[in-house]
Amino acid sequence: MTDRELLQYAVEAREMAYAPYSGFRVGAALLGKSGKLYKGCNVENAAYSPTNCAERTALFKAVSEGEREFVSIAIVGGMYETINDFCAPCGVCRQVLAEFCGPDFRVVLGTPDNPQAFAFKDLLPFGFGKNDLE
Ligand code: THU
């Protein structure tokens, strides 16, 4: 799958965003090593803190369906109908992704017309992970 295609799936996922409080709508498309694609959107809550980000929605869907190894994720976000040029994953999502994604996992940001890919190791240097608990 090309980066452009993966971003296009993230744009599709964003259509389901439930963001009545912030108005910031996010979509994520996560590609598993099995070849399956998992789409996620942010799901906000009136109590604010239970809100789930799009990336975690996609990851939790995947893990709950038995997928634990991943190739890449694309993320898009922006206020209301706008899609920003660039929407980076928050720190909590980086930590949650770190549980299942290795240093070479690809994070595709930008827009379908201008994809920008990063290696996960560059987005969460010196992270805390399962190896620390051994
Ligand atoms: N949000 C995400 O879905 N992913 C991120 O990485 C950053 C933030 C959502 C959470 C909340 O619904 C809205 O964007 C504003 O923070």
DSSP string, the chain: --HHHHHHHHHHHHTT-B-TTT-EEEEEEEEETTS-EEEEE-B--TTSTT-B-HHHHHHHHHHHTT---EEEEEEEEEETT---S--PPPHHHHHHHHTT--TT-EEEEEETTEEEEEEHHHHSTT---GGGG-
**Residue 134 annotated in active site:** no
Catalytic residue from among 5, 15, 55, 99: 55
Instruction: Return the pLDDT at 90.
Output: 98
Tens digit of each residue's pLDDT (9 = 90 or more) over 56-83: 999 999 999 999 999 999 999 999 999 9
Tens digit of each residue's pLDDT (9 = 90 or more) over 7-49: 999 999 999 999 999 999 999 999 999 999 999 999 999 999 9
**CA quadruple 73, 77, 83, 87: dihedral sign:** negative
Tens digit of each residue's pLDDT (9 = 90 or more) over 81-109: 999 999 999 999 999 999 999 999 999 99
Mean pLDDT of the chain: 98
Atom of ligand 1 nearest to the CA of 43: 12
C-alpha span between 119 and 103 (Å, rounded): 7
Kindly report the protein residue whose alpha carbon is nearest to atom 6 of ligand 1: 89
